[in-house]
Amino acid sequence: YSSKVAYNVDKTKPISIFGASYDLDQTTNVTPRILSKVGRNLHNKHSHPLNLIKQRIQNYFYRSFRNRNGNPLFAVFDNLSPVVTTHQCFDSLLVPKNHISRSVSDTYYVNAEHVLRAHTSAHQADLISRGLDAFLAVGDVYRRDEIDSKHYPVFHQCEGVRLFNSHQLFSSVADKEGLGLFENSRRDSNKQETHTMEAVKLVEHDLKKTLIGMTTHLFGKDIEYQWVETYFPFTHPSWELEIKYQDDWLEVLGCGVMEQQLLNQAGASGKIGWAFGLGLERLAMCLYDIPDIRVFWSGDRRILSQFYVKDPETPITFKPVSNYPQCISDMSFWIPNDYTSNDYFDLVRSVGGDLVEEITLIDTFKHPKTEKTSHCYRIIYRHMERNMTQEEVNVLHTLIGQTATKELQIELR
């Protein structure tokens, strides 16, 4: 494996992404492995399951919403560069300066000013500034996160935004006398300080109707769902939509009434709007019965060919190529002061690639005398397409230990 391992990028040279050049600096924490995912654009790859889902969502919006000329109302953007500024990713969305999502332990920084987008919401303000009132933005997003069959450092989101002026929002109301979008009042759990209750209720209704329409278009009308109130810095009120999947509630999207300050700053101060962001992998895993998120990155023809359909609406049930056995190995070490588990997760994925199925922190121990802390992680290895020998796993496990010792200043026990 050693020939494939390059955990660090060379910070002395600029890197080129989507035709733009970026100088690297102290903040840089992207790895060669993560950079190798940039530009893969699985959502645009013909017959890829994420592409099928994207097309189905697009079909729903094209068929359901037309403007006065009979053209699709929602514009679709699926080729925006995933490198965005911290302003686009956080500030334009009113994310507080000290919010955890900004930290280097959660987000991939190209340099101090540029990140790999952590969500497609990073494009909201720009597209609104360009004058768009209704759009979808689909793309790959990057997060330093835990590792298991449902989490991968790269996944795909579809953002949706719709804005209304007063005339559009109240068009279906018979008696419009005295109705308006804005007022000066107090923020409470139902609405923002600048919105009228009638405007917010109509926006909420339109948002939920649109999203339930999409969900039933994908899953059929018998799908069970529930709305859960939540918090986002860029919407209020905010909800998550959960659907019933294999007897459990699964979160598929976040949404809400857009913060008026965001719209005002993007030059749409006369309008009110809703926004949502959903995970394509989540939807695809339920729709096609895909058990492991690594399936989306497989190059195995036996996997890919299961999605070769002419019509994206064709029902598909995924059949795993085979369930090869897991190999389990634990690793214990003393951690340095500025260590976070995400550093280790990232390193293990970098060195072990898709052979790593899951990592769990199974034990934490603080030495009473030295006050040093030790972590023990369990790594589950499994190849999706063939058997792995224990010897192969041992070589890889040792290499992970050596790389962690060198790069993270941990001390193996």
For ligand FA5, give the closer residue by CB, 294 or 378. Answer: 294
For ligand FA5, give the closer residue by CB, 163 or 396. Answer: 163
Q: Which residues lie closer than 8 Å to 35 by C-beta, 6 or more apart?
A: 9, 15, 17
Residues between 261 and 290 that touch ligand FA5 (CB under 6 A):
275-279, 281-282
Shortest separation between residue 281's beta carbon and ligand FA5, angstroms = 5
Sequence letter at residue 22: Y
Site size toward ligand FA5 (CB under 6 A) is 22
Dist. CA 285–CA 292, nearest whole Å: 8
Measuring CA to CA, which residue among 255, 30, 243, 227 is closest to residue 120? 255
Residues between 280 and 339 that touch ligand FA5 (CB under 6 A):
281-282
**Stretch of residues binding ligand FA5 (CB under 6 A), selected from 3-11, 149-157, 221-229, 352-360:** 149-157
Q: Is 135 in the site for ligand FA5 (CB under 6 A)?
A: no
Shortest separation between residue 320's beta carbon and ligand FA5, angstroms = 19
Position closest to ligand FA5 via CB: 279
**Stretch of residues binding ligand FA5 (CB under 6 A), selected from 63-71, 150-158, 184-192, 300-308:** 150-158
Sign of CA dihedral 75, 78, 81, 83: positive
For ligand FA5, give the closer residue by CB, 86 or 157. Answer: 157
Residues between 199 and 258 that touch ligand FA5 (CB under 6 A):
232, 235, 251-256
Shortest separation between residue 93's beta carbon and ligand FA5, angstroms = 8
Tokens 């005002």: give the residue. 264
Shortest separation between residue 234's beta carbon and ligand FA5, angstroms = 6
Shortest separation between residue 382's beta carbon and ligand FA5, angstroms = 19
> Of residues 40, 151, 244, 294, which one binds ligand FA5 by CB under 6 A?
151
For ligand FA5, give the closer residue by CB, 152 or 170. Answer: 152
For ligand FA5, give the closer residue by CB, 273 or 352. Answer: 273
Residues between 154 and 193 that touch ligand FA5 (CB under 6 A):
155, 157
Q: Which residues lie closer than 8 Å to 352 by C-beta, 6 or more apart?
A: 379, 381, 396, 400
Measuring CA to CA, which residue among 221, 234, 204 is closest to residue 89? 234
Which residues contact ligand FA5 by CB under 6 A? 119, 121, 143, 145, 151, 155, 157, 232, 235, 251-256, 275-279, 281-282
